[in-house]
Structures are given as C-alpha cells and as structure tokens.
Amino acid sequence: MFYRTTRIISESLARNLDRRAFMKRTGETVFLGLAAMASGNVAPAMVSARTRQPPQPTVPSCSPPGPYCNLNGVNEPNGCHGGSCFQHMSGGQVQQCRLWYCCYQAGCWTTAASGGYWTCCDCQCADNSTCGCAQFNGSPQPRPDSPGVGATA
C-alpha cells in the first residue's frame, strides 16, 4: 500500500515538475551560498548561532521591605503576578497586597542582572505587613508585566 502511494506521488511529481527550472534554481542557490561563504558573510551568523545566552537568574536581585510576597511561607515571589503585588501569607493568613509607594515614586524599580533586568516592586498588604515582588526580563523598560509585553516569569 505504502509503496504504491509513494510510486503514484513520485510519478505525478516527475510529470509536473519543470526539471530545467528546478536545476537552475538549485544551481543558483548553491552558487550564492558558496559565494557568501567565500566572502565571509556566513561566518558571523554561524558563530552567533553557537553562542549561548547566559542562564536566567533564579534568585531575584531586589531588596524588598520584607520577605518576597509568598503563599507558602518560603521567601520566594510566588504570591506575585509578574512583578506586581498580589497576595502574601502573613500570620498564617493570605492577605491581599497592593503597590506601596513608601520609598520610590513609582513603587517599582529596575535592577540589572546577568543577561537582563529584575523589575522589583514594594508591596503593602491589608494587615499592613510589607513584602516585595520581582520579575526577570530581558530589557529594563517597560514593566515586564504590562499588557502586551512578552516577558519571562
């Protein structure tokens, strides 16, 4: 069954293919590729394809006013929505949090790290406890959790 289908498709392709145009295009492509390699225009692309990007840091480079906003009691920003404040476990209860403008006019700042930037935000929760949120991004502006901006968490 497979052999017959392959044979029918191969015959149809051979009858409908203009061999001269195919060989001409193939020859042009090979010639231009070899000319580009000879002139040195292909080498930078090949070198850049081999270079590795530095790994994304997993520990935020921020100094929040308390622990990172978390939901499990561990000092990690898992209670955040991107770089924005959301919730924080305080006194055994999950509190709603919002951006806190105590130290920075915008409540957030950007810190350079290897291969990108941390967007850090100060947060204040409903019980007046404080925490911080952070998100890593490849560029410093705009905030990585803004709508329409592709960011990594």
- Going residue by residue through the chain, which has 153 residues, state the pLDDT in tens, using 9 for 90 and above: 778 888 888 787 777 777 787 788 888 888 888 888 777 766 555 555 555 666 666 778 888 888 999 999 888 888 898 888 999 998 889 999 999 888 777 788 888 887 788 888 999 999 999 999 988 887 665 554 554 444 444
- Looking at the structure, do residues 63 and 108 belong to the same domain, yes or no? yes
Quote the pTM value: 0.55
pLDDT at 3: 80
* Token pair recorded at residue 6: 């392959």
- Looking at the structure, do residues 107 and 43 belong to the same domain, yes or no? no
Phi-psi region of 81 (alpha: psi -120 to 50; beta: other; left: phi over 0): beta
Longest dimension (CA), the chain: 79
68 strand-pairing partners: 132
- Looking at the structure, do residues 36 and 68 belong to the same domain, yes or no? no
Say how far apart CA 26 and CA 55 lie, in whole Å: 40
Q: Could you tell me the residue range of the domain that residue 139 belongs to?
A: 55-153
- Looking at the structure, do residues 71 and 34 belong to the same domain, yes or no? no
- Whether 84 contacts 133, CB under 8 Å: yes
The domain total for the chain is 2
- Looking at the structure, do residues 150 and 98 belong to the same domain, yes or no? yes
- Looking at the structure, do residues 84 and 102 belong to the same domain, yes or no? yes
- Looking at the structure, do residues 74 and 135 belong to the same domain, yes or no? yes
In this structure, the strands spanning 93-99 and 87-90 are: antiparallel
